Chain A
């Protein structure tokens, strides 16, 4: 069995526990921002989260859980994070059905708080950014179901805690949770919803699997776990909405029909503040949790949240391209490009193969620009990507552009009034060989020999280079 605690135990040497209280109002997020700038990504566990009134929450906060590609890949048993895409694609393609357990076997229901006993204000909810209007749940996985088929859907949704038992939440308009909401509301009914917080990264990444509608994420989670995900009926909605039995905290409630409130501005994954929107609300009926619950927070717009989402995207892009282009090797959705860019390496692609693959992956709603390179380019180095763009691209010949496609309307560069986006695929590979056995008709890269390089490394070893001029 895997849960948040087993992961913290597995990576105990990579968990940083600052001494003393740290404030929920921006201070924890500031730690993440400072560490991002230093390119250091330990898991952070705050034992004494300090509320705005100065009191300390008895519930600890964990963040930066998935800020490191290395740790996130290792959570799935992938030793080299660069190989993540293929593994993720394979495992989510082999789902394992969940297993239902009783309430007595479900740690997440050790404490059940209903009615006025349930208070969102008892949770150590962070206000992350200076322009956020209030505290937001950022790792709340919203689970709803399709009333026509009973099939559930799960997605992370930002939730603004407004009152002890009321919060707004923002399912993206094109999302499956919005479809479910609209179906209930279309019948004049409130939409049942639960939000669960805290689990092993394998489960968190399973919920990021990009599926058709309606299709449950539980089996994808099982595929990544390598065993059935343990579920328990929610207190409010029974077996119509199951929740992970080994989660930390569950918030249950209803979204009343056609009720909207202002939500945001909110610091988003784009690195910009998302605009205020009209969002549904959740009227909370029940909060369940473990006796010594841990609260999980994703640093929105930071590596903490971008890395797991982007790595799941890598799996999706790999599974879209590979059947079309067998020469696809690796995929990287870099934090520097938020969720908009993908870099893909190819090993000796055939004529037309790269462009076929680019066309396939541009159809994926989340992509905006995809850059294809040869496998001598390190796709985990932005500098290497820039080298390929500088030396292997003629813009008119090598760039495929398409407009009127689905994409993120949170992209700050979007055209006024647009409901779709423009995308580009860039073939930054070198021209292939045209004569069997002959080199490619392009210049070779310049470099020194391995022997000379080894000698240089040996000469530099042991020398204190601190303070030497940087580029």
Chain B
């Protein structure tokens, strides 16, 4: 996995603080964002599908990935 394009959000929340659980991918082709499960990223072998431009690409080819 290309670690350079991944930002991993902190795993734990201080008590009482809300932190979201959704992971986002920025498409390398159109730069739009779409949300994914952490599982599809960690597998590494499933092509992601941009629901905006319909480009398919593996996680290392994403512009950015923000993992919750």
A-side residues, CB < 8 A to B, are: 131-133, 260-262, 264-265, 273, 275-278, 412, 414-418
Contacts and interface: CB of A to CB of B under 8 A. Distances in A.
Contact of A262 (B12, B21, B22, B56): B56
B46 interface: yes
Contact of B21 (A261, A264, A417): A417
Nearest to B11: A417
B9 A276 contact: no
B22 A415 contact: no
A209 to B, nearest CB: 28
Given A275-B23, A414-B21, A416-B20, A262 B9 contact: no
A261 B34 CA distance: 16
Interface string B17-29: 0011111010000
A261 B46 contact: yes
Nearest to B43: A278
Nearest to B35: A275
Interface in B48-68: 48-49, 51, 54, 56, 68
A130 to B, nearest CB: 9
Nearest to A130: B51
5 contacts: A262-B40, A265-B51, A273-B35, A276-B35, A415-B21
Contacts, number: 65
B36 interface: yes
B36 A276 contact: yes
B49 A416 contact: no
Given A276-B35, A276-B40, A416 B68 contact: yes
Nearest to A162: B49
B31 interface: no
A275 B21 CA distance: 11
Nearest to B20: A416
A416 B67 CA distance: 10
A277 B48 CA distance: 9
B37 interface: yes
Given A276-B37, A414-B21, A416-B13, A260 B46 contact: yes
B39 A418 contact: no
A172 to B, nearest CB: 12
B48 to A, nearest CB: 5
A58 B34 CA distance: 35
Contacts of A418: 21
A415 B11 CA distance: 10
Given A260-B45, A276-B36, 5 more contacts: A133-B51, A262-B48, A264-B51, A414-B21, A415-B19
B43 to A, nearest CB: 6
B54 A278 contact: no
A415 B51 contact: no
Contacts of B13: 415-416
A265 B51 CA distance: 7
B56 A416 contact: no
A443 B9 CA distance: 51
Among B36, B43, B45, B51, max chain A CB count under 10 A is at B51
Contacts of B49: 133, 261-262, 276
Contacts of A276: 25, 34-37, 40, 48-49, 51
B20 to A, nearest CB: 7
A186 B56 CA distance: 28
B54 A133 contact: yes
